[in-house]
A and B are shown apart, each in its own frame.
Chain A
Amino acid sequence: MARIDLVDLAHSYGGNDAPEESFALKPVTMTWRQGGAYALLGPSGCGKTTLLNVISGIITPSRGKILFDGKDITPLSTQKRNIAQVFQFPVIYDTMTVGQNLAFPLKNRGVAKSEVDKRVAEIGRLLDLEPYLNRKATRLTADAKQKISLGRGLVRSDVAAVLFDEPLTVIDPELKWQLRSKLKALHRELDLTMIYVTHDQTEALTFADTVVVMHDGRVVQSGTPAELFDKPAHTFVGYFIGSPGMNIIPAEVRGREAHVGGHVIALDRAYGNLPSGAKIEIGVRPEFVEAVAPAPGLLTAKIERIDDLGRIRFARTRLGDAKLAVRAPAGFASVDGTAGLKFDPSHVHVYADSLLVEGAA
């Protein structure tokens, strides 16, 4: 169990001399508290697996340090870091029974047999693997195998953190949900630091208390699911989280007003501090724009189609070159294929060069 500090950590597969733009993991400094559940979320190739492998020690970072409870463990091998890792595909030792699989890490460390038996029984019970302890591990289904992989990590009492690398990829959909709840329950019960890599926002948002969103090798935002939803720090976060993602529209912002295509959208805060020459955009989630009957003073957009998601309807509209998804309230019906857009000023954010700008109240 440990607090994990990443200090100016970066990794480049091409060596440190390569330009920073090509780094697989760009410099990041952050602290993960002991007992937290963290998710590293981002599309393929965003560097999340690289970061995980750096923490587990499979990759030695080309720059920076990793501290476990304040102790620098960067040069230590995977073996000495006391971490557990669950991989994308279940890793089990074919010739062994489930029990032997669970005992393997302890045996390798020379733990006494009575202690091994005790721990294996305990973890077997915790993971509901008790009935299978004496069966060959190869014959089990994928989700049971993933539990065994996890169990091999948990069986060590000194484990500092449990790392998951997209562990639900090969699990059937209905079992995914079960296994995820199991992980959550284990996290509450064991007070372990868990780090979960995924590209699936549902998995990340339901599993973690803190979601770390990565994009192009960089950590773009780290926060609670609510923070990511309400106040994306980067247009990528807005777009990546939420379904449909945030609307990003190029605009001119002056004081408390944003100008889009000759129309004015009111803003909640004043933006007198915008850097000159930056690309200015406003971002607003579809949930906070309402489609109403066109009226003077409202932006008018062309409706392309309406997606009915059952609980909620979203109108896909076009405004000049920009595409906007907006909420279509019950009872809304377009007469001539256009709709007026009503923005909720408190949820309209301003971005300069993709980064959130805090306005003055």
Chain B
Amino acid sequence: MDKIVNQKAWFLVLPVFLVVAFSAVLPLMTVVNYSMQDTFGNNQFFWNGVGWFKELLDPSTDLGGRFLASLGRNLFFSLVILAIEVPLGILVALSMPRQGWTVAACLVILALPLLIPWNVVGTIWQIFGRPDIGLLGYVLNAMGIDYNYVSNEIDAWVTVIVMDVWHWTSLVALLCYAGLKSIPEAYYQAAQIDGASRWAVFKAIQLPKMNRVLLIAVLLRFMDSFMIYTEPFVVTGGGPGNSTTFVSIELVKIALGQFDLGKAAALSLVYNLIILIVCWIFYTVMTNAGAERKPQEGAA
């Protein structure tokens, strides 16, 4: 059979090539290019090979020290907010009403923080926590608690974490609520007949049925918190000192503050790679968990 040759097909594919080239490949290659060079401004570049990458992974250098410290802070931050938001989200979802007008009211209230732009959230908490004019800061100080997120590292961390919990627990709660809603009534009735306690119902029915949405929630919250920039930047600006400087804040400081394009490019590549790897691990775990639950044919 003769193969039909039709070169016109190229015209259909070409626009995609162009769009992808300009939107993804060229910018990425520019970053790769920068990461191999050093610049002193004036658009003059000098070849540096893998020098920046070596420095990045070596804690004894300035760049490596800053990167690894901010990476550690970032991981700690992600773990803390996951440890708070996931159980809290489940708890909120469990205590939400199942029917009636209160459902709609709860959903709207829960959705509100999710609809507020990041920098506005930051501004809200920045003002809320101020000891002089902020409600939270003023009340805490009036109660005799010396709270000041500008000067105290722990206060700054607490503020950033509480802010993230306030902003994002709703997402976990809404996902869990959707998972809970999908459980047929018969499961609860059967559990009642089986004499299951509230805790047993949670362990045997609700938690397993929420499994998938919980994985999605953990993935989303981890990625988001790992890339967090705006809110802590607005509230603490990464301070006091470097105590709340996360990787993205460090990256912006290097790239735009010091205009060290080479270092910043190398850092952003590694940062990107970490996120991709974590994403891939989550994805693999999730798809495997899904495959495990498919019923096997002929098992009965």
Contacts and interface: CB of A to CB of B under 8 A. Distances in A.
Interface stretch (A35-43, A137-145, A195-203, A305-313): A137-145
A94 B208 contact: yes
A26 to B, nearest CB: 24
Given A138-B295, A140-B299, A141-B300, A79 B195 contact: yes
10 contacts: A56-B193, A58-B189, A58-B192, A94-B293, A95-B204, A96-B204, A140-B296, A140-B300, A141-B297, A141-B300
A77 B192 CA distance: 9
Contacts of A78: 189, 192-193
B159 to A, nearest CB: 39
Contacts of B208: 93-95
B45 interface: no
A108 B295 contact: no
Contacts of B200: 104, 108
A152 B194 contact: yes
Interface stretch (A82-90, A114-122, A222-230): A82-90
A348 to B, nearest CB: 45
Contacts, number: 73
A84 B205 CA distance: 18
B17 interface: no
Interface string A104-136: 110011000000000000000000000010010
A12 interface: no
A153 B293 contact: no
B145 interface: no
Interface of B: 184, 186-187, 189-190, 192-197, 200, 204-205, 208-209, 293, 295-300
Contact of A108 (B194, B297, B299): B194
A93 B193 contact: no
Interface residues on A, range: 20 to 34
A276 B117 CA distance: 78
Given A87-B189, A88-B186, A149-B190, A105 B195 contact: yes
B92 to A, nearest CB: 23
A153 B194 CA distance: 8
B189 A141 contact: no
A30 interface: no
A139 to B, nearest CB: 5
Contacts of B209: 94
Nearest to B184: A89
Nearest to A86: B190
A186 interface: no
A333 interface: no
A91 interface: yes
Contact of A138 (B192, B194, B205, B293): B293
Contacts of A84: 193
Contacts of B298: 141
Contacts of A93: 204-205, 208
Interface string A138-173: 111101100101001100000000000000000000
Contact of A89 (B186, B205, B300): B186
Interface in A63-94: 77-79, 83-85, 87-89, 91, 93-94
Given A78-B189, A104-B200, A153-B193, 12 more contacts: A58-B192, A87-B190, A93-B204, A94-B293, A96-B204, A104-B204, A108-B194, A140-B295, A140-B296, A141-B300, A144-B300, A152-B190
A77 B205 CA distance: 20
Contact of B186 (A79, A87, A105, A140): A87
A83 B195 CA distance: 11
A96 B194 CA distance: 14
Contact of B196 (A58, A108, A138, A147): A108
Most chain-A CB neighbours within 10 Å: which of B190, B205, B295?
A: B190
B190 A91 contact: yes
Nearest to A138: B293
